[in-house]
Each structure stands twice: as C-alpha cells, then as structure tokens.
Amino acid sequence: MRAPFDSHVAAEPTRRALLFLFRARFACNYSSRYARRALEMLHQAAEAGNISAAGLLGTAYGGYWGVAEDYAQAVHWLQVAASAGHRLACYNLGLCYDNGYGVGKSYAQAFRYYRRAARLGDTEAMQAVGSFYARGEGVTQNYARARRWYRRSARHGQAEAMCELAYCYQRGRGGPRHHGKAVRWFQAALAAGCTRAHVGLGLEYIHADCQDWQRARYHLELAAEAGEAHAMYLLGRWAEEQWDGAGNQADARFWLEKAAAHQHQWAMLRLAKLLGEEF
C-alpha cells in the first residue's frame, strides 16, 4: 500500500492522529504508545464519519506506522473511504485486489479501483490502469488506451509510466512508432530514476534507423550494472551472435550466467544451448 504523510489532509482529530503516527514512525517501536493512541483516534474519527480518517485507518492496518497487519480491517476501512471518493483509498484498495490482500485476488476489481483513483487524479493509479490495458488483465486488452493512460501519468512525472510510454513508441503499440519520442521519454524516465529505461535506450540504438552500437552498449551495460536481468541477457546474445561484428563465447557465457542467476527464463534456455545441454 501507499501511505500519505501530509498533516493538512483532514480535520483536526485526524491531524492529531497523524502527529502520533509521525512519532510512532520515528520511534521505531511497533508496540509504541504513539501507534496505539493514533489508532484509537483514527477509529473515533472514522466511526464518526471522517473519510480521511477511514482512509488512513485502512492504510495503517496494511502494516504501516507500527500497526500490526490486519488486512480484513484494512479492506473494510478502505472500502468505506473509497465509497466516498477518497483517492488514496481507491488506489490502495486496488492494490489489495491486485495482490489478494484481505480479499480474493481479482484483476477486474483491481482495475475498477485503480481506474477510479486515476480519474480522481492519482498518477500511480494512471500508470496501473495503463498496465492493465496493456496486459489485458481485468479488462479487454487495448494498447491505444494503455498509451493514453501512460501519457497522462508520465506528464505528471511518474517514472514507470514514462518508461512504458517510451516502449509504446518504440514498439508501435497503440499508435505509430516514433524513434524521437521513444528516446525522449526513455531519457525522461532515467532522469526520474527508472534505471529500466537504459534497456529501452539500448534497444532503440540497436534497432532504430540511427543505429549506434556504442550508445547501445553504454546503456545496456549501465542497466546490467543496476541489476536489470534483461540487459544482461541482451549483452550475452550480443556477444554470442556478434551483432556489431565483435564478440566471443566467453563474454556470452558471462552475461547469460548473470542473467540466469536473476531467473531470466530466456537466458536460462540460451545458456543451456550454449553449453550443449539437452532438454
């Protein structure tokens, strides 16, 4: 779940509860009197009809601020808040259905709540809606709608959405391919902290009309150093097949073994073939 830390989100009783949650957070004591007092205050406010308190209470029962996990209580209070249009509660309820926390796992219900949160302006929910449309989970697959939701989220600075939007432009999903826009959004995603965008940039410089092997290797190696298994796999294939005319089997084995150690399925299969193993 995602937790807010904003002392201006609610009426006075809820703000006072937030102060206790701050203290519980920094006390690093899960049995802290601050957490217990905050929970009491949130219950009082939520039961009196304070929607912000209900949303915070649902989040707290997700295991935040020193409160013991109780997903049944979390879902109950998140539903109370979500039914009144509480944006973060809608998003967190989507997470519950997405992962099966306190409810039966349901992509359809997860999509429903993510979309509600997205329409209320939650940028992470916008990215989630785009992903559900792209994968066809809980809703009919629709790349054009996926691209639109990624774009909305990306324009609000959401790094993963920027990266996914760039992949849409790279692969021509939901609209035409566009090298310039793909590169621009991958670079924006990198600036926002998404190291996975290095993989996309590496692929762009391998396959685009403006092929640039040096830039491609630079980005794939940075991605591999950051732990991106697919970049390791691509570097292994590059060395094995000598895409730029240079490579060797030792480098291929090195990178494929690293990718396989990260449970990359394609790397495992390729490594087995390289080593002459039979299935």
Give average pLDDT by consecutive 10-residue segment, the chain, 279 residues: 51 54 49 70 86 89 82 94 94 95 95 97 97 96 98 97 97 93 97 96 86 93 96 95 84 95 94 79
Q: Is 248 exposed, middle or buried (0-12, 13-18, 19+ CB in 10 A)?
A: exposed
Residue 276 lies in a domain: no
Report if residue 257 sits inside a domain. no
Per-residue tokens: 234: 């691509």
Residue pair 233/199 in contact (Cβ under 8 Å)? The answer is: no
Residue 244 within a domain: no
Dist. CA 231–CA 83, nearest whole Å: 43
The pTM score is: 0.82
pLDDT of the residue at 104: 94
What one-character-per-residue DSSP string does 58-106 give? HHHTTT-TTPPP-HHHHHHHHHHHHHTT-HHHHHHHHHHHHHTSSS---
DSSP 8-state class, residue 10: S
Total domains present in the chain: 1
Determine, yes or no, domain membership for 27: yes
Q: What is the pLDDT of residues 29-71, one digit of tens each?
A: 444 666 677 788 888 888 888 888 899 889 888 888 777 889 9
| pLDDT over 90 percentage in the chain | 68
pLDDT of residue 16: 55
Alpha-carbon distance 214 to 192, whole Å? 24
Residue 3 lies in a domain: yes
Q: Which domain holds residue 76?
A: 1-121
3 state SS of 244? coil
Contact assessment for residue 60 and residue 67, using Cβ atoms and an 8 Å cutoff: yes
Q: What is the pLDDT of residues 155-189, one digit of tens each?
A: 999 999 999 999 999 999 999 999 999 999 999 99
Residue 47 counted as domain residue = yes
CATH of the domain at 73: 1.25.40.10
Whether residue 16 lies inside any domain: the answer is yes
4-38 in b/e form (b: 16+ CB < 10 A) is beeeebbeebbbbbbebbebbbeeeeeebebbebb
Residue 56: inside a domain: yes
Dihedral in degrees, nearest 10, Cα atoms 248, 250, 255, 258: 170
